[in-house]
Amino acid sequence: MRSVDQNIESKSISLNNLKVRGATWNVYLLNFGLYFGLKLWFRPWVKEQEGLELIKLIANSFPNYVEAYMGTFTIAGLLIIGRLKGYSWVKNLSDIKIYTISATLAAIYVISQEMKFHNLGGANIYDPNDVIASIIGLAFIFVMLNIYGIKLIKD
């Protein structure tokens, strides 16, 4: 599936007249909402509970999944907009190349952060489950992008 509606001409592109639609965008919003609900309410509550180890594992690793998903989606969106604007370094890239570059850049960031090569995302405690959650997020968004694309539509 093409990431851009065929009726969009690159000369008429303005960020003000583009809308994002489709399944990847809906999952993006869902992840965004779940992330904040988890961080602000659910995680503090589950940490106080006895037992529930599987739920604690998911609550602690889910932000890594979301970070990988949202990071890849955001990078892909920026690259597609750059391609539409005709920027020379992306204008000849296919959708699959853009999605691959996006997933690779996001993977470098999230996994190197988890391995403590940098602390750009804040203080981090290494947990192999977080690396697994990041990889699941990267794989999931890569598949979503390749199936559904980002779907930019002229307003």
pLDDT in tens, 1-21: 555 554 555 555 555 555 666
Q: pLDDT value at position 140?
A: 93
> Please, which contacts does 110-115 make with residues 24 or more away whose CB atoms are closer than 8 Å?
110/64, 110/67, 110/68, 110/71, 110/134, 110/137, 110/138, 111/135, 114/64
pLDDT in tens, 84-134: 888 888 989 999 999 999 999 999 998 888 877 776 666 666 778 889 999
Q: pLDDT value at position 58?
A: 84
Q: pLDDT value at position 75?
A: 94
Q: pLDDT value at position 25?
A: 79
Q: pLDDT value at position 29?
A: 87
pLDDT in tens, 26-53: 888 898 898 888 888 888 888 777 777 8
DSSP 103-143: HHHHHHHHHHHHTTS--TTS-----HHHHHHHHHHHHHHHH
Res 63 pLDDT > 60: yes
